[in-house]
Amino acid sequence: MSRSARRITATVLASGALLAAAALPASADGRDHGQNRPAQRSTVVLGKIQYDSPGRDNGSNRSLNAEWVTVTNTGRHAVNLRGWTLSDESGRSYTFDLRLAGRSSVRVHTGVGRDTRHDVYQDRRNYVWDNKDTATLRDNRGRKIDSDSWGRYHHGGGHRGHR
């Protein structure tokens, strides 16, 4: 095939690929499009939440660490959570730096402690999770992966299970 025939063929193929990509519906291209919802379903979700530390809220590290949010990987494969964030309605945020194994969970405590595979600590000296609040999990691109709210529509104690 001549050089010019190869160029024409390459141009036609490239144009066809561009047209096919442009013809995809917005929901099929895997992007958020500013609608603040997950682009695709994640295997990482919020689990149980202990938003009201049991006992007196005396501000001790023990009391702070009795307040926590569980993040669970429901999938079979590990997920790199480096750069993911967990935040409350007030904008207080914790940034992950871990790899979460498949079918496992990590508990994010408010106070100070030594991080392990199953427990990480925000190293805060004040409570984070109010009696009326929302926990929001975002990936390293800022896309909302999951959220859970309590207090407004839920009555009862300080423990919240996943929906």
In tens, the pLDDT along 132-158 reads: 999 999 999 999 999 999 997 554 456
Laid out side by side, the sheet with 104-109 consists of: 119-121, 104-109, 68-73, 44-50, 159-160
d(CA 84, CA 86): 7
| Whole-prediction pTM | 0.72
Helix (H, G, I), strand (E, B) or coil at 44: strand
Evaluate if residue 6 carries a pLDDT over 80.
no
